[in-house]
């Protein structure tokens, strides 16, 4: 999958209203979720839960 850009406070894109998800079992949504996990792992948990120690990491 892909590592995506992590938006930070002050980025105007964070103020946009997202479209509601109409269907949950689509290839596009599965790809987005996979990208989010790849991004989280590449950033060592930034944007989800930052790693503190190996004993607190859930996977």
Q: What is the pLDDT of residues 33-44, one digit of tens each?
A: 999 999 988 988
Domain count, the chain: 1
- Better pLDDT: 11 or 59: 11
Is 36 within the bounds of a domain? yes
Write down the pTM of the prediction: 0.65
pLDDT at 16 (0 to 100): 96
What is the domain extent for residue 44? 1-48
pLDDT at 53 (0 to 100): 53
Is 22 within the bounds of a domain? yes
pLDDT at 12 (0 to 100): 96
pLDDT at 13 over 70: yes
Three-state secondary structure of 16-29: CCCCCCCCCCCHHH
Over residues 43-54, mean pLDDT: 61
Is 27 within the bounds of a domain? yes
């Amino acid at each position: 999958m892909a590592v995506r850009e992590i938006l930070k406070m002050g980025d105007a894109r964070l103020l946009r209203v997202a479209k509601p998800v109409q269907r949950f079992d689509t290839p596009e949504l599965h790809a987005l979720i996979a990208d989010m996990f790849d991004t989280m792992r590449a950033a060592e948990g930034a944007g989800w839960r930052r790693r503190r120690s190996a004993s607190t990491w859930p996977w």
